[in-house]
Amino acid sequence: MRSDGSPSAPLGLKIAAAGGLLFLHLPIFLIFIYAFTTEERSFVWPPPGLTTQWFAVTWNRPDVWQALSLSVRVAAISTLVALVLGTLCAAAVSRTRFFGRETISLLVILPIALPGIITGIALRSAFSLAEIPFSFWTIVLGHATFCVVVVYNNAVARFRRTSGSMIEASMDLGADGFQTFRHVVLPNIATALLAGGMLAFALSFDEVIVTTFTAGQQQTLPIWMLEELIRPRQRPVTNVVAMVVVLLTLLPILVAYYLTRDGDQIAGSGK
Amino acid sequence: MTLASLDSNPAPAVLPGTGGMLGALSDLFWRKPKLLLLLMLLPPVLWLGIVYVGSLFALLLQSFFSIDEFSGLINRQFTLKTYGDLLQAANLDIILRTVTMAALVTFASAIIAFPIAYYAARYARGRWKALFYLGVMLPLWSSYLVKIYAWKLILAKEGILTWLLAKLHLLWLLDGWLSLPVVGGNSLSVSSTGTFIVFVYVWLPFMILPVQAALERVPGNLVEASSDLGASPGQTFRNVLFPLALPGIVAGSIFTFSLTLGDYIIPQIIGTSRLFIGQAVYSQQGTAGNIPLAAAFTVVPIVIMGFYLWGAKRMGAFDAL
């Protein structure tokens, strides 16, 4: 019927698609307004007045800073572990065929395909069986496990696009394996690794379900927020923290998108 | 890392050594690519195998233990008693409620996701396409708790939704709905309706992406041919588009279904006191200290998802992931 290049969509479809996107975005924007409300006790709408005082109050809350610092440290170490494990796995899987290759892909995806509560309680019961006390490292253990898949997905996609002839040329010109890796392979996969690392960081920074099982008494930022949602102490502070968290997670996602936009997609379809 | 060497059969070693320790190591990997492969795979497989699969087995093992009702201690003897406890009416009720919710959430997500995915796949080009993609990715990746919190603000009694309905003179509709059994409650933020809305909101992007991927593979001329042959848009949708998009919908439903089965935070924050599987697991292992029953509870979503994945694979949904 239509073969003239760019057909336009029926009006009903346009409205439904736009409505769906609005449904996805409006609730998040609402947080930004609530961060400025003068109302302390309830969620009353519209806000009776606007103020910036809650930013100062939040700034002076040591518990928020502690939670933020723990979250950043956990996310940094987990990302580092995930980068090493994910890249090794991707390099092995993308370049060769070997027995058990499918099993390894499944193994990497499983921690994210099964509901978080299963990963959480499995780790917790394993810690209790092995009598490992909760610490910074038990949180990292859980986070790194499900962050591997993000790095792996990004790295695998890039390895597939990197042509083998470049590596062969490097070897023909006399470079050894390590030189080839440093000067040819690494520059090629660097942006994919950076994107994967950013996403892994965002994933760890936001994770709450697995963390509730592996954290003991320590509070990451999401655990702090969960506490506030169940037993609110000072609602306006929660509003401000929520807004800052949105802005902080947005940044790595946008960077990851720009790093991988030509060619391979951002590997996120399995959060 | 001699990646290239893994592709080709190693030539007989006629080349001179490259010298130095690293050079010698590099030569060794060249001659024995399997060794390099093993060394590359060892760290990730050991980590995932010990930390993750090991824990899963430890969990499974504990579901066959039982708890002594009088002492509250765990009896480490193999028994199926805990699985018997799972079949008590109260526990079956929890399982049934969770599965029903997961099915409803999946169905609603598919309906809302389809127009977005269809528009993005067929009509959006260039800048718009990127905008649509980011428009789905940003909510997908933004903080899970913040999203739930935003809905607490919206659904609360004094929140934006009540205000909006009051402006539209539709409060009677809300009050009527809230007075209904099962779906109603004191306010939307403590009702099953609220739980349902938030579940749909939080998992929706997981449905959009695979459906869009499936629709992008439908050639445009197929739709044109259908209308050339005289089919109405409705007929084209039923007989051409929908069957071809179905693997994508099934792929998306794996996420929406599985995530709803396991979640315990949404029904805890926005919902009634009637428990979901995740909450039962959490309270059994925490306050009740009954790890065997908690473990047996987690086996339920694993088994359900096992069957689900098996069925999805038969429908070709894995190609759409």
Alpha carbons B142 and A30: distance in angstroms, whole number: 14
CA count, 13 A, side-chain hemisphere, A269: 21
Please calculate the CA angle A219-A144-B145 and round it to the nearest 5 degrees.
45
**Distance from the A138 Cα atom to the nearest Cα atom in chain B, whole angstroms:** 11
pLDDT number for residue B16? 54
- At B137-166, the pLDDT tens digits run 888 888 889 999 999 889 988 888 888 888
Which chain A residues are closer than 8 Å to B44 by Cβ?
A: 85-86, 88-89, 104, 108, 148
DSSP B134-150: HHHHHHHHS-HHHHHHH
pLDDT digits (tens, 9 = 90+) for B211-265: 998 898 888 888 888 888 888 888 888 888 888 889 889 989 988 998 899 899 9
Residue B199 confidence (pLDDT) above 90: yes
pLDDT over 70, % of chain A: 94
- Which of A22, A84, A121, A179 is the best substitution to test chain B (most B C-beta atoms within 10 A)? A121
The yes-or-no verdict on residue A233 having pLDDT over 60 is: yes
Contact across the interface for A1 and B255, Cβ inside 8 Å: no
- Considering only residues A68 and A111, tell me which one the structure prediction assigns the higher pLDDT: A68
What is the distance between the alpha carbons of residues B196 and B150, in angstroms, rounded to a whole number? 15
Cα-flanking dihedrals φ and ψ of residue A185, to 5°? Answer: -70, -50
Q: Of B251, B229, B220, B226, nearest to B240 (Cα)?
A: B226
The pLDDT of residue A2 is above 80: no
- Closest in B209, B295, B305 to A125, CB measured: B295
Contacts of A30 in chain B (CB under 8 A): 150, 153-154, 160
Q: Are B142 and B136 in contact (CB under 8 A)?
A: no
The answer to whether the Cβ–Cβ distance between B255 and A270 falls below 8 Å is yes
Interface touch A118/B301, C-beta < 8 Å: yes
Mean per-residue pLDDT for A156-172? 81
| CB contact (8 A) between residue A171 and residue B112 | no
Percent of chain B with pLDDT over 70: 93
Residue A49 pLDDT more than 80? no
The answer to whether residue B96 neighbours chain A at the CB level (below 8 Å) is: no
Residues of chain B contacting A124 with CB distance shorter than 8 Å: 285
Average pLDDT score, chain A = 83
CA-nearest of B53, B83, B44, B82 to B66 is B82
pLDDT at A6: 52
Question: A22 to chain B: nearest residue by CA?
Answer: B135
Q: Looking at chain A, which runs of residues are DSSP E strands?
A: none
Q: Which of A16, A121, A269 sits opposite B210 (nearest CB)?
A: A269
**Contact status, residue B214 vs residue B249, Cβ threshold 8 Å:** yes
- Asked if A229 contacts B269 with a C-beta cutoff of 8 angstroms, the reply is yes
What b/e sequence results for B269-286 when a residue is b if at least 16 CB atoms lie within 10 Å of its CB, and e otherwise? bbbbeebbbbbbbbebbe
Q: Report the sign of the C-alpha dihedral through residues B233, B236, B239, B244, in that order.
A: negative
User: Does the CB of A86 have a partner CB in chain B at under 8 Å?
Assistant: yes
B45 inside 8 A of chain A by CB: yes
Reported ipTM: the value is 0.83
**Closest B-chain CA to A104:** B45
A81-133 pLDDT, tens digit per residue, is 999 999 999 888 877 777 777 788 778 888 877 788 888 888 888 888 888 89
Question: Do B206 and A108 count as a contact with CB atoms less than 8 A apart?
Answer: no
**Torsion angles phi and psi, residue B74, rounded to 5:** -85, 125
User: Would you call A2 helix, strand, or coil by DSSP?
Assistant: coil
* Dihedral angle, C-alpha B31, B33, B34, B40, nearest 10 °: 130
Residue A98 to residue A101: CA distance in whole angstroms: 6
Interface A–B counts its CB contacts (< 8 A) at 295
Interface test with B, best of A37, A41, A45, A203 (most B CBs within 10 A): A45
- pLDDT, residue A263, reads 52
pLDDT of residue A130: 84
pLDDT for the residue B151 = 92
Which of 183-242 (B) contact A at CB < 8 A? 201, 204-206, 208-210, 224, 227-228, 233
Amino acid at B8: S
| pTM, full prediction | 0.84
- Inform me whether the pLDDT recorded for B64 exceeds 70: yes
Chain B residues with CB inside 8 Å of A189's CB?
none
Q: Taking a C-beta distance cutoff of 8 angstroms, is the pair B154, A27 a contact? A: yes
Mean pLDDT of A133-141: 91
Q: Which of A24, A40, A182, A183 to mutate to test the interface with B (most CBs of B within 10 A)?
A: A24
Instruction: Please check whether residue A13 is in contact with residue B118, taking contact to mean a CB–CB distance below 8 angstroms.
Output: yes
CA distance A242 to A222: 10
Give the pLDDT score at A38: 80
Q: Are A200 and A131 in contact (CB under 8 A)?
A: no
Please answer whether residues B122 and B236 qualify as being in contact, where contact means their C-beta atoms are separated by less than 8 angstroms: no
Is the pLDDT score of A71 beyond 90?
yes
